[in-house]
Each structure stands twice: as C-alpha cells, then as structure tokens.
Amino acid sequence: MISTLTQLPPQALTPEFVTRFEPTSFMFWLEMFGIFACSVSGTILAKHKNFDAFGCILVAMIAAISGPTARDIILNRYPLFWMVNMNYLLIITITSVGFQMFCNPKARHVDGLLKLFDGLALAIFTLIGIQVAQEMGANIPVCILLGVLNILFGTVIRDMLCNEIPLVLQRELYITPAIIGGILYFVLQVMDIPSWITQSLTMLTIFSIRMLAVQHDWYFPDISLIKKASL
C-alpha cells in the first residue's frame, strides 16, 4: 500500500491478525473479553466526563492496553502485543464506538455496570498478568505484583485522566482480591491441578470477592496494634 513499507528494517513490526493464544482456546476468548470489558468501562467513564468520540476511544485504549504495556516494558517483552496484533486496537475501537452510539451512559444503571466490568477486567487481567510474568521466568512475588499492575496501571491512569478518585483509593477491597487470587493460583499449581481449573478458580475467586466487597461494603481490617499512642 505504501512504498516506504517495502524498505523496512529486519525487526519490522508487520501487522498480524494472528493471536498469541490459539484462536479456539479458552485464554484467547478470555483475553479478548477482558479487553472488551476494559473498553466498556473506559468509554462509560469518558462519556460521563463529556469527552468527544476520539477522546472516549483514547480513554478506552488507555484503560485496556496501558496496564499490559507497562507489564511488558517492565519485563522487556518486545514488540508490544498491540503493535503486532491489530485485534486489540480493533476490538477497543469497535467496542468504544458501538457503546457510544447505542448506549446512554447517563442512565442510572451505569455505576453498577462500571463496577461489574471493572470486576471482570480485574479477574481476567490479574490472571493474564501472572501467567505472562511466569512465562518470562519471574518468581512468585513478582508474578503477583505484575498481575496486580496489569489491571491497576490502566485503571489508575484512566481515573486520573478523567479526574476521578482512583478505584484503588476507594474503601472497598480492590487489590486484596487480586492478591488472594494470585496466591490461590500458585497454591493450585503446586497441587498439580489441571490448568483450566486453576485459571477458572483464580478468576472466579477474584471476581467473587470483588463483587461481594462492592455489594456488602467489605473492607480490609486495620492492622495497626496501636490506637491512641503518639508516634
């Protein structure tokens, strides 16, 4: 299409629509659904803030790919997935435009929807972050940290761009379910449980704890042993 593209250097990032995971696999559909969930929550929030169409798409992209991008930069894992595989940007754009056209984010169900999609993204992205870090040879604490970062980074930047109080600042459990899920993942792996059960249980645990925390206003107990003493 463009003449200069024929003189590309050998490390050329040729566009591919081939996916990292087997297209028929569980993880493939899961990752795409995670990207979809992040795009929806990003678009909802950006529309609430009266961003224009391109602004909403940009916030959706930031919500969906900046966490995994930070993870890959930290792991020195190049080229970045969204540069070689156009599925990601495509799904985000279509999701964001479609949501802007056919949904009305001023409706009263929006806050619940936002929490729901954030919970889904939390479960999926934490699991994928852990697995990618493990593939790259990281040890267990780093894997769990990168699992948390994989979802947290995009969510925090999205919230700051939209001038919202970051989710992580709010009272309900958000990091805790991800860490519990991460520990469970490694416990199940040591017990030689089949990987699809490990993955499903990890996500289910993270999602359930997060949703229950939102529903019942669960928060982490204060671990301070001193109440009134001066420092």
Of 159-178, binders to a copy of itself (CB under 8 A) are 160-163, 165-166, 168-169, 171, 173, 175-176
Please give the Cα distance from 122 to 155 (Å, whole number): 9
Closest distance to a copy of itself from the beta carbon of 90 (Å) = 8
Closest distance to a copy of itself from the beta carbon of 73 (Å) = 6
The amino acid that residue 175 corresponds to is I
CB–CB of 117/36 below 8 Å? no
CA-based nearest residue to 32, from 76, 98, 94? 94
Could you tell me which stretch among 27-35, 116-124, 142-150, 204-212 binds a copy of itself (CB under 8 A)?
142-150
- Check binding of 78 to a copy of itself (CB under 8 A): yes
* ∠ CA 68-73-76, rounded to 5°: 120
Q: Which of residues 10-29 bind a copy of itself (CB under 8 A)?
A: 11-15
Q: Which of residues 186-205 bind a copy of itself (CB under 8 A)?
A: 186, 189-190, 192
Per-residue binding letters, 33-72, with a copy of itself (x by CB under 8 A): ----------------xxxxxxx--x--x-------x---
Contact residue for a copy of itself among 2, 22, 24, 216 (CB under 8 A): 2
Q: Please count the residues of this chain forming the interface with a copy of itself, following the rule CB under 8 A.
A: 86
Closest distance to a copy of itself from the beta carbon of 29 (Å) = 22
- Check binding of 140 to a copy of itself (CB under 8 A): yes
Query: How many CB atoms neighbour CB 202 within 10 A?
Result: 27
Backbone angles phi, psi at 16, to 5 degrees: -135, 145
* SS3 state at 227: coil
**Residue for token pair 């969510």:** 155
Question: Which residue, 136 or 184, is less far from a copy of itself as judged by CB?
Answer: 136
Backbone angles phi, psi at 70, to 5 degrees: -60, -45
Please give the Cα distance from 174 to 210 (Å, whole number): 6
Could you tell me which stretch among 1-9, 26-34, 35-43, 200-208 binds a copy of itself (CB under 8 A)?
1-9
Please give the Cα distance from 164 to 56 (Å, whole number): 15
